[in-house]
Amino acid sequence: MTHAQMTIDPHFVTGRIQRRLFGGFVEHLGRHIYDGIYEPGHETADAEGFRQDVIELVRELGVSTIRYPGGNFVSGFRWEDSVGPRDQRPRRLDLAWHSTETNEVGLHEFSSWLDKVGSDLMLAVNLGTRGTLEALDLLEYTNIRGGTALSERRRANGRDEPFAVDMWCLGNEMDGPWQLGHRSADDYGKLAAQTAQGMRQIDPDLKLVVCGSSGAQMPTFGEWERVVLTHTYDDVDYISCHAYYEEKDGDIDSFLASGVDMDRFIESVVATADHVGAVRGSTKRIDISFDEWNVWYIDRYHGVDKATGIDNWPVAPRILEDSYSVLDAVVFGSLMISLLKHADRVTSASLAQLVNVIAPIMTEPGGPAWRQTTFYPFSITSRLAQGEALELKLDAPTYHTGRFGEVPLVDAVATHDSQTGRSAVFLVNRSVSESITVTVDAAGLDDVSILETHTLTDVDIHARNTLENRERVAPASNDSVSLADGVLTITLPPVSWSAVSLG
Ligand code: AHR
């Protein structure tokens, strides 16, 4: 049996955990909206056509802010299409996903759904095929109480009160050649600064996110952040990070180490942002909005399910419907650990995405909704990670990975809420063959006992939940956990994610 050890001390604070860290992302993409959250004919549909079985699962998942309406979709989106009488809304080509957008669900309907699931709206503006003026128009429509053309239009459309959206993304992945209207860092930086300044003239308190690279693998990564922030440093609050991980060429060891890559990505962006701040002599700090992260088998999308052809623009096609295994969920849990370890600078994050599309929740038209394996690390972490993230003094054996070098077999983070006195530890065992017993010095926590234990693992690491077998995989309590004389002990099975709550 391999061993690891760590210390939890509530004085070793990394940063306060913002609820926005447990955000989600809903894009008009595939069956996310249509046949996902919205299916008027479904037996659980409410008066507005929203599936209540999905609403219940989204509530259980515990997502805070939800980024909307894209993603790549937003770069061809005309927001005006999505408001006003439904029967007059145009059907449009969605070039990003080669499909047809009916606009049956738009801003008002989505906001109403958010009220039902208990989440807040984070909007992205189109800086791909549109610009500053349209962004300002949308902000006037959503946030101005009344007395102007667009605010009165909102009221005429049935929404008297402003939507009061306080967090905005200035475009999406503007460095990516696949993005409609993508541009150089210099050109995007200028456009983003101009747009941000205009939006702040309407409301100086808005929280604004400028696009970072669409991934650390982009050839412009690093330099993109430097140039964009040089233009926008004084006008924005966040720079975005996006990262997707997948098992490549059967290299499970490297896949399990994805969190290490996420750690390095975050630390590189923080260093670049701080460099720009230092050059400017600024005391301001730019935070990270990690507004797209997940496991995504991206090659399958390009290889198989994307529609093509001038006469073929399906409505709500089945695309990006990844089915997640136990292995995927363990990696997913480790990505959440990485986000929490950087809670001082990652103060907002959005799981991409929520329903059907690379999602923790799946639905079948006219059929059930169910939890994928990845649902569990998210819902449990969102519920238990409260207060402040703590730095752990972790001492674990390492293993060699082809993609990320020497990596600790165990990764972990702890949280502590001084208001409730509750703490939680989240751990992952990356070994494919060995159980690891972890000894945690918890003497710094006052007189606590074990409240909950959860471990997600399976003898078949490729097991998954499917339409036919919807509850094949779920976490179970971990009977190995003990706490005596201030020492917590837990055995982590191979390829597992665990959470322990103390209080
Ligand atoms: O989440 C799927 C897509 O991934 C998003 O639309 C885009 O921003 C990213 O490339």
What CATH fold (topology level) applies to the domain 18-384? TIM Barrel (3.20.20)
Contact indicator for 291, 20 with CB cutoff of 8 Å: no
The Cα-based distances of 369 to 35, 318, 356, 459, 467 in angstroms read 11, 15, 10, 25, 8
State the DSSP code for 319.
Answer: -
Of all residues in the chain, the percent with pLDDT exceeding 90 is 97
Q: Locate the ligand 1 atom nearest the alpha carbon of residue 353 and give its number.
A: 1
Ligand 1: residue whose CA is nearest its atom 2:
71
Mutate to test the pocket of ligand 1, among 172, 292, 320 (most ligand atoms within 8 A of CB): 292
The segment(s) of the chain belonging to CATH 2.60.40.1180 are 2-8+390-502
pLDDT digits (tens, 9 = 90+) for 332-355: 999 999 999 999 999 999 999 999
Per the CATH hierarchy, to which homologous superfamily does domain 2-8+390-502 belong?
Golgi alpha-mannosidase II (2.60.40.1180)
Q: Locate the ligand 1 atom nearest the alpha carbon of residue 96 and give its number.
A: 6
The segment(s) of the chain belonging to CATH 3.20.20.80 are 18-384
Mean pLDDT of 240-250: 96
Q: Locate the ligand 1 atom nearest the alpha carbon of residue 214 and give its number.
A: 10
Q: How far is the CA of 120 from the centre of ligand 1 (A)?
A: 20
Q: How far is the CA of 361 from the centre of ligand 1 (A)?
A: 17
- Residue 178's pLDDT band (boundaries 50, 70, 90)? very high
Cα 305 versus chain centre, distance? 23
- Residue 303's pLDDT band (boundaries 50, 70, 90)? low
Ligand 1: residue whose CA is nearest its atom 1:
352
Ligand 1 pocket residues where CB is under 6 Å: 27, 70-72, 172-173, 214, 292, 352-353
What is the Cα–Cα distance from 39 to 92, expressed in whole angstroms? Answer: 20
At 305 the pLDDT is 73
Q: How far is the CA of 264 from the centre of ligand 1 (A)?
A: 21
Ligand 1: residue whose CA is nearest its atom 7:
71
pLDDT digits (tens, 9 = 90+) for 84-140: 999 999 999 999 999 999 999 999 999 999 999 999 999 999 999 999 999 999 999
Cα 120 versus chain centre, distance? 14
What is the Cα–Cα distance from 300 to 302, expressed in whole angstroms? Answer: 6
Mutate to test the pocket of ligand 1, among 32, 101, 125, 242 (most ligand atoms within 8 A of CB): 242
Residue 476: how many other CB atoms lie within 10 Å: 11
Mutate to test the pocket of ligand 1, among 67, 72, 242, 244 (most ligand atoms within 8 A of CB): 72
Q: What is the pTM of this model?
A: 0.97
Sheet (strand 2-7) strand order: 2-7, 436-441, 487-492, 482-484
Contact indicator for 500, 453 with CB cutoff of 8 Å: yes
Ligand 1: residue whose CA is nearest its atom 4:
71
At 307 the pLDDT is 87
At 278 the pLDDT is 98
Half-sphere exposure of 7 (CA within 13 A, CB side): 8
Per-position b or e across 381-414, b if 16+ CB within 10 A of its CB:
bbbbbbbbbbbbebebeebebeebeebbbbbbbb
At 304 the pLDDT is 63
What is the Cα–Cα distance from 370 to 57, expressed in whole angstroms? Answer: 8
Q: Locate the ligand 1 atom nearest the alpha carbon of residue 25 and give its number.
A: 1
Burial status of residue 483 (CB atoms within 10 A of its CB: 0-12, 13-18, 19 or more): middle
The Cα-based distances of 38 to 69, 192, 359 in angstroms read 15, 33, 15
**Which residues are designated catalytic?**
173, 292
Torsion, Cα of 373, 347, 143, 204 (10° steps): -170
Q: How far is the CA of 112 from the centre of ligand 1 (A)?
A: 24
- Looking up tokens 């419907």, which residue turns up? 321
Ligand 1: residue whose CA is nearest its atom 3:
71
Q: For residue 393, is pLDDT > 90?
A: no
What is the Cα–Cα distance from 500 to 488, expressed in whole angstroms? Answer: 10
At 299 the pLDDT is 77
Contact indicator for 337, 380 with CB cutoff of 8 Å: no
Q: What mean pLDDT, rounded, does the chain reach? A: 97
Q: Locate the ligand 1 atom nearest the alpha carbon of residue 352 and give its number.
A: 1
At 446 the pLDDT is 81
Looking only at the bridges linking them, the beta strands covering 422-429 and 496-502 are: antiparallel
* Element (DSSP H or E) covering residue 150: helix 149-156
At 264 the pLDDT is 98
Ligand 1: residue whose CA is nearest its atom 6:
71
Q: How far is the CA of 80 from the centre of ligand 1 (A)?
A: 22
Q: Locate the ligand 1 atom nearest the alpha carbon of residue 292 and give its number.
A: 1
Q: For residue 302, is pLDDT > 80?
A: no
pLDDT digits (tens, 9 = 90+) for 31-79: 999 999 999 999 999 999 999 999 999 999 999 999 999 999 999 999 9
Question: Can you read off the two tokens belonging to residue 18?
Answer: 């913002």
Q: DSSP characters for 443-493? A: TTS-S--EEEEEEE--SSTT-B--SSSTTS---B--TT-EEETTEEEEEEP
Q: How far is the CA of 242 from the centre of ligand 1 (A)?
A: 9
Q: For residue 301, is pLDDT > 70?
A: no
Q: How far is the CA of 71 from the centre of ligand 1 (A)?
A: 5
What is the Cα–Cα distance from 107 to 460, expressed in whole angstroms? Answer: 42
Mutate to test the pocket of ligand 1, among 172, 174, 289, 355 (most ligand atoms within 8 A of CB): 172
Q: Locate the ligand 1 atom nearest the alpha carbon of residue 294 and give its number.
A: 1
Q: How far is the CA of 448 from the centre of ligand 1 (A)?
A: 43
